[in-house]
Structure 1
């Protein structure tokens, strides 16, 4: 338990940094959204929603880490771990989607008459 509590300040710091990076990313997606048409708009809206979701998850994880650091309570540490699991699940789903659609893109390039 003490080892886990020693790592929480680093986790809180990096979740804050990740949140700031995602905020900047979402701002650039918003700027790019105004110049897109057709399918690109749907892709940008999906990226925007996922970016905003990640911002909220990183913020919740940051708050949970800080609460666990302040109290040292087992339930607060469990909440921080739960918030971390939510982030990992979302990133896993996003990676799976990128792998599936990227694979389909590669396969479509191999088909005669494709790209």
Structure 2
């Protein structure tokens, strides 16, 4: 069994989050053979790059508001919203406020940068 405290992890690493290839501030929390879980954040009014991922993704929004565009269809997101993104879907996330948009990403099979295609 492995246990991690997201609050403590983010307190320690908050200022050091690296940018993913698509532009999200990201911190991988767990990676197994079947899935990965990462914390993501977009700062005020930021958006990530339009991209596709070969894996299925589930986003759980922790804080903030924005829009998730999947294959051209816009969906509003906010705290406690969960969205499932099918594999190979064109996707883009937009923070529509002046506050950070914070979320968790569960990716199955696990995230692999070689299986991500940046479209812009």
Name the TM-score, length of structure 1 as normaliser.
0.23
Name the TM-score, length of structure 2 as normaliser.
0.22
**Bigger Rg, structure 1 or 2:** 1
Greater share of helix: 1
Relative contact order: is structure 1 or structure 2 higher (C-alpha 8 Å, sep ≥ 6)? 2
Greater share of strand: 2
